[in-house]
Amino acid sequence: MTKPEQLHSVAVLVPGHFNDHAVERIDRTFRRVKIERADPALVTDEMRRDVRAIASFAGISAAMMDALPNLELIASFGVGYDSVDAVHAAKKNIMVTNTPDVLTEEVADTTIGLLLNTVRELYTAEKWLRDGSWVKKGDYPLSRLTLRGRHVGIFGMGRIGLAIARRLEAFGLPVAYHNRRKVEGLAHQYHPTLKGLAEAVDTLISVVPGGASTEKAVNAEILTALGANGVFVNIGRGSTVDEPALAAALASGTIAAAGLDVFADEPNVPKALLEAPNTSLLPHVGSASHHTRRAMADLCVDNLVSWFSERRPLTPVPETVNVKAAG
């Protein structure tokens, strides 16, 4: 256990650009070590000797962990941590933390806004007003789609999925879901397969994290099952979607529309999705408010403080929940 006044000697590596509020707190509490990016080739002998923690947006590879023999903790900024090799971290007795809960409501709000925008074409309607078309051409055309009568399926009924479901209930929409396992005590209809869920609903919202188990889980088969009236919304990770298959489904009328906040190769968005008239696209802004990012920054740094002052994490990821601090 380290006394508060001794935390200033703890070296925390911060790769690349990081949240300003988190940086300010790290600078007040620890000894921040800067590095251009999380690349083991950039690790110096001094870093190898001194660094005990990493605070980062970016992915931390097994090689980066191996390059820092005294590394104890990776404080990942965000709820998703698929870019951190948490399995390797556990083998190396390195704790990994993330920032759940504090962004749940913000992301759920964004999801509902994206769904409404996709179905009711609100962004396009606003452009109609702003570019003078309302005066020159008259009323904006009636939206082809509506939320009325829709049945929504949530792929990933975790904290954010549950928050989305609560909002959808307020809209009077029935909700079903698919998870790896059924959520005990939840009244919403459970489907043991994603295809079964897609067949049962006409609106599919993906909230699952990235990783090998969800890679391109939403593919041509799932989109075909969703159907011609189908709307797909992704607020989770771009890697969970077969983007060429999605673009083809939108172009052919296999599904009606899609709303996307995340992409497989950000910030690069496939041209076919950019040009599709039946898409609503956002630049990964699910949790992007000053209020929520500050809360995420605080939790990220609070994990650092708790680990080095009390030798315990606040929000460990499941893979490293059994990692114990030495000493």
- Note the pLDDT tens digit of each residue in 190-231: 999 999 999 999 999 999 999 999 999 999 999 999 999 999
CB-based contact 40:69 (threshold 8 Å): no
250 in the same domain as 167: yes
Instruction: Pick the closest to residue 214 from 82, 124, 107 (CA basis).
Output: 82
Both tokens of residue 224? 């075909």
29 in the same domain as 130: no
123 in the same domain as 178: yes
Phi-psi region of 14 (alpha: psi -120 to 50; beta: other; left: phi over 0): beta
Query: Does the structure show a pLDDT above 80 at 5?
Result: no
* Domain ranges, residue 29: 4-100+290-320
108 in the same domain as 230: yes
144 in the same domain as 17: no
Is 325 domain-assigned?
A: no
Q: What would the pLDDT profile of 28-85 be if each residue is shown by its tens digit?
A: 999 999 999 999 999 999 999 999 999 999 899 999 999 999 999 999 999 999 999 9
Query: Does the structure show a pLDDT above 60 at 1?
Result: no
**Residue 181, C-beta contacts closer than 8 angstroms, at least 6 positions apart:** none
110 in the same domain as 210: yes
Stated as kind and residue range, the H or E segment containing 246 is helix 243-252
Give the mean pLDDT of 178-194: 96
Mean of per-residue pLDDT scores for the chain: 97
Domain count, the chain: 2
Which CATH number characterizes residue 224's domain?
3.40.50.720
**Residue 162, C-beta contacts closer than 8 angstroms, at least 6 positions apart:** 186
Q: What would the pLDDT profile of 276-288 be if each residue is shown by its tens digit?
A: 999 999 999 999 9
Give the mean pLDDT of 166-190: 97
Cα–Cα distances in Å, from 23 out to 48, 60, 178?
21, 18, 38
% of the chain beyond a pLDDT of 70: 98
Catalytic residue positions? 237, 266, 284
Q: What would the pLDDT profile of 256-308 be if each residue is shown by its tens digit?
A: 999 999 999 999 999 999 999 999 999 999 999 999 999 999 999 999 999 99
124 in the same domain as 27: no
Q: Is the peptide bond before 270 cis (omega within 30 degrees of 0)?
A: no
Is 36 domain-assigned?
A: yes
Q: What would the pLDDT profile of 101-134 be if each residue is shown by its tens digit?
A: 999 999 999 999 999 999 999 999 999 999 999 9
* Phi then psi dihedrals of residue 133, to 5 deg: -65, -30
Buried b (16+ CB within 10 A) or exposed e, 290-324: eebbebbbbbbbbbbbbbbbeeebbbbbebbeebe
